[in-house]
């Protein structure tokens, strides 16, 4: 009955003070939960609480993933990928299996060769044909392939697969490949693979008819891949290289592969898709026009300057002079193959070659340098200023101001980067300063032409050139990407005031 209930349930019944209905053990458990750790009761004194600091929870064991940034900047991931490729290649070239003698190659030589191959430069400190075995040559060829067209494929892979974990879009790499979505990146990657296999395959078939004897197929494969990726490595023996100037068939084939590889996949894709000048993008028009002008200008300049030089074009017939001048002009901006001794060039020709090397090939291609796109934008900026235009125009369109700033920044920083190794080499090497300057330009521009002093460099000098090759391969691109990230920050308004610049 309700009248016998000790608790009562009426709404107006007042609850009497007394012990809580909660049982003893449950109450103690609740008190232990509320009480601070280390206190046995609520009546503990402040001094006791102070003397008993709270216990720290045990820290979880650190794993490797804890030391990897969750959202690393794009250029950090990109540079790390290529640095890892260089180290793996150096380790493979260092082992005895990679050398003809079966002995270990000095790690400095292996590191220099791996860096030259990944950066598609072509500078060597040991003869590629005489020192490296077939396994070592295969390692070099794989490094060339990954460092060449793989430069674009690795970028596309990072953008497609790691886009959610790596801040790629913050750095606007999509501008370099003309792809602004993941489906477009996938399409671009497949098109790049198709074009690369097509041109390299055709090059192998054409060169196969030139090389004869044992190993002719391997020679064709090696030189086709090296030429299309603008690497400049050759496995021809010195006797064949001395007579290379008279082989019009081989010179023309290699030059065409070099030019195609230096045009970049986006330009080639755009050219094959539109097939008409009016339908091409502004980037493709600038790249093609600048490439033709530099190719023709370089050919004419070398032909005039070296026409009577007995150490270069002098003893050749007129057709051979034209072919060799064309071959030299095509290779000075990109690859580094040479049918003549660059060390015998006159000062004027060496200066012209250094300028062409510094300009390089098309942006996004396997070539190095500041890129013809940046060089063309600089010239268009000068023309616009002289004509009194406030914006830079080309082919009836305006070039964004941001691209002008990027071109100027890349040019200025590249000048500093290419000159810095010269100051170091001047202290470490007892060699002609003009030769050191030429080697520095060739290394930064990832061309590979040499006056012949590279094997004579000390270990410090080789390390300086190796760093220059690596920075030259990745530097201009990462500079542009870093600029794009900086531009995302909001700039504070500041008053404007004129500054005298001339």
Tell me the DSSP string of 171-220: GTTHHHHT--SHHHHHHHHHHHHHHHHHHHHHHHHHHHTT--STTHHHHH
> What does the radius of gyration of the chain's CA atoms come to, in whole angstroms?
33
Q: Is residue 405 part of a domain?
A: yes
Q: What is the pLDDT of residue 41?
A: 44
Q: Say yes or no to pLDDT of 391 above 80.
A: yes
**What residues contact 461, with CB distance under 8 A and at least 6 apart?**
425, 428, 429
Q: Is residue 446 part of a domain?
A: yes
The stretch 338-364 carries a mean pLDDT of 90
Q: Is residue 3 part of a domain?
A: no
Mean pLDDT is lowest, of 21-35, 232-246, 373-387, 413-427, for 21-35
**What residues contact 222, with CB distance under 8 A and at least 6 apart?**
137, 141, 233, 235
Q: Positive or negative CA dihedral for 16, 20, 22, 24?
A: negative
For the ranges 14-28, 352-366, 488-502, the maximum mean pLDDT occurs at 352-366
Q: Which residue has the higher pLDDT, 99 or 11?
A: 99
Token pair in block for residue 149: 């067209």
- Write the DSSP string, 414-472: HHHHHHHHHHHHHHH--S-HHHHHHHHHHHHTT-----S-GGG--HHHHHHHHHHHHHH
Range of the domain at 123: 70-486
Q: Say yes or no to pLDDT of 343 above 80.
A: yes
Q: Within 10 Å of residue 152's Cβ, how many Cβ atoms? A: 22
Q: What is the pLDDT of residue 69?
A: 54
Q: Within 10 Å of residue 461's Cβ, how many Cβ atoms? A: 21
Q: How far apart are CA 320 and CA 294, in angstroms?
A: 20
Q: What is the pLDDT of residue 9?
A: 40
Closest CA to 226 of 153, 140, 150, 354: 140
Q: Is residue 58 part of a domain?
A: no
Mean pLDDT is lowest, of 16-20, 149-153, 282-286, for 16-20
**What residues contact 80, with CB distance under 8 A and at least 6 apart?**
none
**Chain position carrying tokens 């606007």:** 172
Q: Say yes or no to pLDDT of 277 above 80.
A: yes
Contact 422, 464 (CB under 8 A): no
Q: Say yes or no to pLDDT of 172 above 70.
A: no
Question: What pTM was estimated for this model as a whole?
Answer: 0.78
H or E segment to which residue 221 belongs: helix 216-228
User: Residue 55: phi, psi to the nearest 5?
Assistant: -75, 140
Contact 308, 314 (CB under 8 A): yes
What are the C-alpha distances in Å from 455 to residues 407, 440, 447? Answer: 34, 14, 16
pLDDT interval class at 62 (50, 70, 90):
low
Token pair in block for residue 437: 């300057």
Q: How far apart are CA 78 and CA 58, in angstroms?
A: 37
Residue 399: helix, strand or coil by DSSP? Answer: strand
Q: Say yes or no to pLDDT of 145 above 50.
A: yes
| Helix segments in 246-371, DSSP class H | 248-261, 265-274, 282-305, 318-332, 347-359
Q: Say yes or no to pLDDT of 428 above 70.
A: yes
Mean pLDDT is lowest, of 183-192, 348-357, 369-378, for 183-192
Q: Is residue 21 part of a domain?
A: no
Token pair in block for residue 178: 């003309």
Q: Is residue 257 part of a domain?
A: yes
The stretch 455-471 carries a mean pLDDT of 90
Domain count of the chain? 1
For residue 397, what are the β-bridge partners? Answer: 394
Q: Within 10 Å of residue 171's Cβ, how many Cβ atoms? A: 24
The stretch 372-384 carries a mean pLDDT of 92
β-strands 397-399, 392-394 pairing = antiparallel
Token pair in block for residue 486: 């900086």
Q: Which residue has the higher pLDDT, 155 or 278?
A: 278
Q: Is residue 2 part of a domain?
A: no
Q: How far apart are CA 368 and CA 386, in angstroms?
A: 30
Q: Within 10 Å of residue 480's Cβ, how many Cβ atoms? A: 23
- Write the DSSP string, 91-126: HHHHSGGGBSSSSPPPHHHHHHHHHHHHTT----SS
Q: Is residue 496 part of a domain?
A: no
- Tell me how far the alpha carbon of residue 315 is from its chain's centroid: 40
The b-or-e profile of 312-335 (16+ CB within 10 A means b, else e) is bbeebeeebbebbbbbbbbbbbbb
Q: What is the pLDDT of residue 151?
A: 66
Residue 368: helix, strand or coil by DSSP? Answer: coil
What are the C-alpha distances in Å from 163 to residues 69, 71, 185, 480? Answer: 14, 10, 11, 19
- What is the residue-averaged pLDDT of the chain? 79
Q: Say yes or no to pLDDT of 75 above 60.
A: yes
Q: How far apart are CA 190 and CA 213, in angstroms?
A: 35
Judge residue 133's burial from the number of C-beta atoms within 10 Å of its C-beta, 0-12 exposed, 13-18 middle, 19 or more buried. middle
pLDDT interval class at 381 (50, 70, 90):
very high
pLDDT interval class at 13 (50, 70, 90):
very low
User: Residue 73: phi, psi to the nearest 5?
Assistant: -60, 150
For residue 398, what are the β-bridge partners? Answer: 393
Q: Say yes or no to pLDDT of 199 above 60.
A: yes
User: Residue 392: phi, psi to the nearest 5?
Assistant: -90, 125
Q: Say yes or no to pLDDT of 214 above 80.
A: no
Token pair in block for residue 419: 């000159």
For residue 399, what are the β-bridge partners? Answer: 392
The stretch 188-207 carries a mean pLDDT of 88
pLDDT interval class at 175 (50, 70, 90):
low
- Write the DSSP string, 358-372: HH-S-TTSS--SS-H
């Amino acid at each position: 009955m309700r009248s016998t209930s000790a608790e009562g349930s009426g709404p107006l019944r007042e609850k009497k003070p007394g012990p809580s209905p909660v049982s003893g053990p449950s109450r103690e458990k609740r008190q232990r939960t509320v009480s601070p750790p280390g206190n046995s009761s609520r009546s503990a004194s402040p001094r006791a609480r102070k003397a008993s600091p709270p216990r720290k929870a045990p820290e979880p064991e650190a794993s490797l993933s804890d030391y990897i940034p969750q959202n690393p900047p794009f250029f950090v991931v990109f540079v790390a990928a290529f640095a890892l490729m260089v180290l793996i290649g150096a380790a493979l070239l260092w082992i005895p299996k990679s050398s003809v003698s079966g002995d270990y190659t000095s790690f400095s030589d292996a590191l220099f060769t791996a860096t030259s191959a990944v950066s598609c430069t072509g500078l060597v400190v040991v003869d590629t044909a005489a020192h490296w075995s077939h396994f070592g040559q295969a390692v070099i060829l794989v490094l060339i392939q990954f460092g060449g067209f793989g430069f674009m494929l690795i970028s596309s892979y990072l953008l497609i697969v790691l886009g959610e974990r790596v801040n790629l879009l913050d750095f606007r790499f999509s501008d370099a490949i003309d792809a602004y979505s993941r489906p477009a990146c996938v399409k671009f990657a497949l098109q790049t693979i198709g074009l690369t296999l097509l041109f390299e395959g055709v090059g192998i078939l054409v060169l196969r008819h030139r090389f004869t004897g044992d190993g002719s197929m391997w020679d064709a494969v090696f030189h086709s891949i090296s030429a299309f990726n603008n690497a400049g490595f050759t496995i021809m023996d010195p006797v064949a290289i001395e007579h290379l100037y008279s082989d019009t068939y081989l010179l023309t084939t290699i030059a065409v592969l070099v030019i195609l590889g230096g045009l970049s996949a986006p330009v080639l894709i755009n050219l094959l898709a539109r097939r008409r000048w009016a339908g091409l993008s502004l980037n493709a028009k600038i790249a093609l026009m600048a490439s033709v002008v530099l190719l023709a200008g370089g050919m004419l300049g070398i032909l005039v300057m070296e026409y009577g030089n007995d150490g270069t074009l002098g003893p050749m017939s007129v057709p051979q002079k034209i072919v060799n001048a064309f071959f030299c002009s095509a290779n000075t901006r990109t690859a580094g193959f040479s049918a003549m001794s660059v060390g015998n060039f006159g000062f004027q020709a060496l200066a012209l070659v250094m300028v062409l090397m510094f300009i390089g090939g098309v942006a996004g291609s396997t070539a190095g340098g500041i890129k013809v796109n940046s060089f063309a934008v600089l010239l268009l900026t000068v023309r616009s200023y002289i004509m009194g235009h406030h914006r830079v125009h080309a082919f009836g369109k305006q070039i964004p101001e941001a691209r002008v700033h990027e071109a100027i920044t890349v040019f200025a920083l590249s000048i500093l980067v290419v000159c810095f190794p010269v100051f170091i080499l001047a202290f470490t090497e007892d060699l002609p300063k003009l030769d050191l300057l030429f080697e520095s330009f060739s290394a930064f521009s990832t061309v590979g032409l040499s006056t012949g002093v590279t094997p004579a460099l000390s270990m410090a000098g080789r390390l300086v050139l190796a760093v220059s090759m690596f920075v030259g391969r990745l530097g201009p691109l990462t500079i542009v990407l870093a600029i794009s990230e900086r531009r995302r920050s909001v700039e504070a308004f500041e008053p404007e005031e004129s500054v005298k610049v001339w």
